[in-house]
Amino acid sequence: MDIRQKIIKRAVQEIEDGMYVNLGIGIPTLIANAIPEDYDVMLQSENGLLGIGAYPTEDEVDADLINAGKETVTAVKGASFFDNAESFAMIRGGHIDLAILGGMEVSENGDLANWMIPGKMVKGMGGAMDLVAGAKRVIVIMEHVNKNGESKVKKQCTLPLTGKAVVHRLITDLAVFDFTETGMELIEIAEGISLEEVQNKTEASFKISNLQMKYSD
């Protein structure tokens, strides 16, 4: 199983029946295909769709149906379409139960940087800043280290922030962390990964007083 699928398999466990969920651009969008079929979950996109389905087959592609990442999607039975302002009213009004977002960096304080790298062109900040402020719960999923082998779980974020102290849970290919009033806490380690490896690849300081289990591929 590749790293992304490993992360997605663990992240989908955070979704409960009956939730309204926003999936961020990148790895999170792949979660739409992994939600159990018997779950009544409504996926919301800030570009104006409530009721995103799985990625379309070749015969199902409709160029007018896209998610926030401009990927073609399907719509489930009962889906609704609306303008961008209405979509952000849902987010800012606290009607999204869970936002699962990608991350470039997460700090030990739960700060998130995920919208730009200085010097690289970006089309805009998207909806992440609204989501981290408006969603009832924010989970970030990302690879633990970058392409250079440097930790993305930092003492302090070095990239422009999306929000300060906004992350409730971080899921990587190595481990799962929670952010509480007493700091960052390691709660799970991936199967085949040692505590020593997590410590060596994590720049942030964390406690391990409530280590519960290993999650499997």
Confidence label for 67 from pLDDT (cuts 50, 70 and 90): confident
Task: Kindly name the residue from 14, 16, 46, 58 that is annotated as catalytic.
Answer: 46
What is the average pLDDT across 163-170? 98
Q: Which sign, positive or negative, has the C-alpha torsion 158, 160, 165, 171?
A: negative
Confidence label for 216 from pLDDT (cuts 50, 70 and 90): low
CB count in 10 Å sphere of residue 41: 21
Q: Which sign, positive or negative, has the C-alpha torsion 58, 59, 60, 63?
A: positive
What is the average pLDDT across 25-33? 90
For residue range 126-160, what is the model confidence (pLDDT) as tens digits? Answer: 789 999 999 999 999 999 999 999 999 999 999 99
d(CA 61, CA 211): 44
**pLDDT of the residue at 212:** 63
d(CA 213, CA 37): 26
Residue 16 known to be catalytic? no
Structural domains for the chain: 3-211 (3.40.1080.10)
